[in-house]
A = this chain, B = another copy of it.
Amino acid sequence: MERKEISKAVIGRLPRYYRYLGELIEEGVERISSNELSARMKVTASQIRQDLNNFGGFGQQGYGYNVKYLYSEISKILGIDQQHNVIIIGAGNLGQAIANYTNFERRGFVIKGMFDINPKLIGLVIRGIEIRSVDDLETFIKDNEIQIAALTIPKTKAPEIADRLVNAGIKAIWNFAHTDLVVPDDVVVENVHLSESLMRLSYRVCSMQDQGDGKGEKSSK
């Protein structure tokens, strides 16, 4: 079974397809053509068909796609039909925000524990999840078959913790620290660099102003 390597661009779009299909299910829509979906999502129908056909034929000529079936197939592709055990390292606001977001559990991401170095936080329980000392990290990962660690700690601490996670056998790091982690090839790192996102927004705001919309504004260049 030689699986053709799927491009990052395609993977990047799958969750969005999944979200729209979920909404269609809620609306009671049973089937949809690539054309109708393209109109909703503001992408080309060609791209939708091309993307989906990376994984096999989910549609039917003359009919379109069965919404529930496609939804379920995409969930399998993304692996969110399975349970993933997650820990959160860093129990500050961001870590707590993630812990409190119940939708993750609906997608199979079960938060098994939280960790911090702050003694004031250790022992607290957030939505049934206990905050532990990072000293217990390795033991906990092994005892609870943790696959994914969300890293919501300052960037100065991140590399050291990442090393410990890797050595403890973690499979993936969801990295919110503002630094690029160095890990072996078989460990997945998915970055969420909020400050970079905000800078991109800033660029777009400024370039919007530059090209103006007819209104007079001080042109700084």
Contacts and interface: CB of A to CB of B under 8 A. Distances in A.
Interface of A: 1, 3, 6, 11-12, 14-16, 18-19, 77-80, 82, 84, 92-94, 96-98, 100-101, 103-104, 107-109, 147-148, 171-172, 174-175, 178, 180-183, 185-186, 188-211, 213, 215-221
B14 A182 contact: no
Given A15-B193, A188-B218, A192-B197, 11 more contacts: A1-B211, A11-B203, A15-B196, A15-B199, A19-B178, A92-B100, A97-B97, A172-B201, A185-B219, A190-B197, A191-B220
A180 B1 CA distance: 37
Contact of A200 (B15, B203, B205): B15
Contacts of A221: 180, 191
Which one of A96, A180, A182, A211 has the highest number of Cβ atoms from chain B below 10 Å of its Cβ?
A180
Count of identical protomers in the assembly: 2
Nearest to A109: B198
Nearest to A174: B201
Contacts of A1: 210-211, 219
B201 A148 contact: yes
Nearest to A20: B180
A195 B103 contact: yes
Please name the 5 residue pairs, one residue from A and one from B, whose CB atoms are nearest each other, closest first: A93-B97, A79-B206, A15-B196, A185-B216, A190-B201
